[in-house]
């Protein structure tokens, strides 16, 4: 049985997979970026939890990261559309079906990356804060 952390990350990946961009989890950047863009979900770190007693609960603000990458001549518009679609998908259900207390994305910090012999990449890391609690720090 998967842990709550894994269940939440799987649900987040599923939400990203419903978008037009290709969504991967924990993969390296492939040689080719699809025309619709590429999203790579990184598990991130749960950080130090706040602990409450009676009943024992560990409250996390887990920071996962989405690497958003586009390439091509229209990369600015594709990037804008892709990042807006991430926001819309997360806003549609801020609890990921009741798995989290709250899910919130932070603003992307885009950067242009030159590629020798090809169109440059536009990329950004988007932090997604997953607020949840669990009864065991290892789950």
Question: For 77-94, what is each residue's pLDDT tens digit?
Answer: 999 999 999 999 999 999
Note the pLDDT of residue 19.
97
Domain contains 48: no
Domain that holds residue 110: 4-43+54-134
Domain contains 102: yes
Domain contains 79: yes
Q: Domain containing 120 — which CATH number? A: 3.30.70.1700
Q: How many domains does the chain have?
A: 1
Separation of alpha carbons 12 and 16, rounded Å: 6
Note the pLDDT of residue 108.
94
Domain contains 49: no
Residues ≥6 apart with Cβ < 8 Å to 11: 96, 97, 99
The model's pTM: 0.93
Note the pLDDT of residue 24.
98
Which stretches of the chain score pLDDT less than 70? none
The DSSP code for 93 is: -
Note the pLDDT of residue 95.
98
Note the pLDDT of residue 72.
86
Domain contains 139: no
């Amino acid at each position: 049985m998967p842990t709550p952390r894994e269940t939440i990350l799987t649900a987040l990946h599923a939400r990203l997979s419903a978008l037009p961009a290709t969504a991967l989890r924990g993969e390296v950047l492939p040689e080719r970026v699809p025309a619709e863009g590429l999203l790579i979900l990184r598990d991130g770190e749960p950080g130090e939890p706040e602990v409450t007693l009676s009943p024992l609960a560990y409250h996390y603000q887990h920071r996962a990261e989405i690497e958003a990458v586009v390439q091509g001549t229209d990369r600015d518009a594709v990037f804008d559309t892709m990042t807006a679609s991430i926001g819309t998908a997360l806003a549609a259900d801020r609890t990921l079906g009741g798995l989290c207390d709250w899910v919130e994305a932070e603003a992307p910090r885009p950067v242009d990356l030159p590629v020798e012999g090809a169109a440059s990449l536009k990329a950004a890391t988007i932090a997604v804060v997953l607020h949840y609690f669990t009864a065991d720090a290892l789950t």
